[in-house]
């Protein structure tokens, strides 16, 4: 083969290779365009679907906003009506305020007049209160004086009853002594020892647990107690007298003769302190309610 044939063969080979290159390039390019076209078509369809969905959403939002706009318009209409009503009420309130202000001015004048009258009334009330206080004080003094008089009357009545009982007791003693003197005279003095023994006869022992209280006291030598013959007392019986509330021993009581009764008796008081009764302190004298009995 000549050089020309070799050169042509080589050129044909080169041309074949170039054609194969362009053929492959064209195929690849066409294939890429097809993929891109399919991708663009899909993207377009997706975009259209998204646009339709968004359009429906926007249409729903528009309808919702339209409803809200209508509600706000209705509310604005209602607020305007309320505003008009409030404006009318405000005007009426201003008118009422002006009337009240005028009335307040008149009331201020009346109040000053009332204050002046009140000062006069207060002075009159004060004077009346002072008079009432004085009358009340006088009434209290009169009540206290009356109570003191009643107490003095009761004390005098109790004293009189006690003195009467003592007089009766002394009269009984006188009768007993007279009978004893008569007996002595009739016996010619021989029965004197018997009479003396009857006079000096010791009383029987008192039972344990005997208790009573002072029912009356005359601030003197004698008291009246709440127990008598039924408790075993007899003339000459001795009892202790004490103030249990203060734990204080006052002295002894000696039961008198004819004043002895079933439920009560009169006894002579003998103070624990060996001094005359007139020298005792008030708290050492018997009182109503003091306890009597036997202190072991």
pLDDT per position as a tens digit, 70-124? 999 999 888 988 888 888 888 888 888 888 888 878 877 788 888 887 888 888 8
Instruction: Determine what percent of the chain is predicted with pLDDT higher than 90.
Output: 17
Question: How would residue 226 be classed by pLDDT, with cut points 50, 70 and 90?
Answer: very high
Answer whether 195's CB lies under 8 Å from 178's CB: no
- Average pLDDT score, the chain: 81
Residue in the block written with tokens 């009422």? 96
The residues with which 265 forms a beta bridge, in sequence order, are 225
Q: Detail the DSSP E strand segments found in 22-127.
A: none
Angle at 211 between CA 205 and CA 212, to 5 degrees: 120
| Pairing relationship of beta strands 238-243 and 222-225 according to DSSP bridges | unpaired
Q: Is the dihedral of CA 178, 182, 185, 191 positive or negative?
A: negative
205 versus 188: the higher-pLDDT residue is 205
User: Exposed, middle or buried, 184 (CB in 10 Å: 0-12/13-18/19+)?
Assistant: middle
Domain 202-296 annotated CATH 2.60.120.380 = no
What mean pLDDT comes out for the span 245-267? 88
């Amino acid at each position: 083969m000549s050089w020309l044939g070799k050169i042509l063969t080589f050129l044909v080979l080169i041309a074949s290779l170039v054609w194969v290159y362009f053929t492959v390039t064209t195929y690849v390019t066409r294939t890429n365009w097809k993929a891109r076209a399919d991708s663009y078509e899909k993207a377009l369809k997706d975009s259209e679907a998204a646009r339709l969905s968004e359009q429906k959403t926007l249409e729903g939002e528009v309808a919702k906003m339209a409803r809200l706009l209508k509600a706000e318009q209705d509310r604005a209409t209602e607020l305007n009506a309320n505003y008009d009503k409030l404006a009318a009420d405000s005007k009426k309130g201003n008118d009422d305020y002006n009337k009240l202000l005028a009335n307040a001015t008149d009331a201020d004048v009346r109040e000053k007049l009332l204050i002046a009258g009140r000062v006069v009334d207060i002075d009159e009330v004060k004077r009346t209160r002072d008079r009432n206080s004085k009358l009340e004080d006088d009434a209290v003094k009169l009540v206290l004086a009356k109570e003191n008089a009643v107490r003095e009357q009761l004390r005098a009545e109790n004293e009189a009853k006690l003195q009467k009982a003592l007089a009766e007791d002394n009269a009984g003693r006188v009768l007993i002594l007279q009978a004893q003197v008569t007996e002595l005279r009739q016996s010619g003095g021989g029965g004197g020892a018997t009479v003396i023994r009857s006079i000096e006869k010791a009383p029987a022992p008192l039972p344990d647990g005997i208790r009573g209280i002072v029912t009356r006291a005359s601030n003197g030598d004698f008291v009246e107690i709440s127990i008598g013959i039924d408790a075993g007392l007899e003339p000459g019986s001795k009892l202790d007298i004490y103030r249990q509330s203060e734990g204080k021993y006052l002295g002894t009581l000696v039961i008198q003769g004819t004043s002895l009764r079933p439920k009560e008796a009169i006894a002579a008081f003998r103070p624990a302190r060996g001094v005359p009764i007139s020298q005792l302190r008030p708290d050492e004298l018997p009182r109503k309610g003091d306890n009597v009995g036997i202190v072991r």
